[in-house]
Amino acid sequence: MEHGVNLESYFKETWRTLKPGGLRVTSTDYWQTPTETGGRHFYGVPIYAFTEEEVLNTLHLANETVSP
């Protein structure tokens, strides 16, 4: 998720493809406070670590996006 994924699209596609009762497990880079990645890239996309606030905002977005 931290490598340039459009989160709203990700959650919409997850909801569309998940079987009833299914589970999607997602992991991401997380650091409690903002961290500098030195402009490094991974597979051509900037490396990024979510902050605690961003993780909570992402969970909120996921809930809003995928709730029936």
- Give the residue with greater pLDDT, 4 vs 10: 10
For the stretch 30-54, pLDDT in tens is: 878 778 888 888 888 888 888 888 8
Please give the biggest Cα pair distance in the chain: 42
Count structural domains, the chain: 1
In a domain, 52, yes or no: yes
pLDDT tens digits, one per residue of 48-65: 888 888 889 988 998 888
Does the residue 2 lie in any domain?
Answer: no
| Residue 55 forms part of a structural domain | yes
Residue with token string 């709203």: 8
Report which DSSP code applies to 30: B
Give residue 26's domain range: 7-66
How far is Cα 39 from Cα 47, in angstroms, rounded to an integer? 7
Q: Shortest CA distance to 44 belongs to which of 13, 3, 6, 1?
A: 3
* 40 assigned to some structural domain: yes
Beta bridge partners of 50: 30
pTM of this structure: 0.69
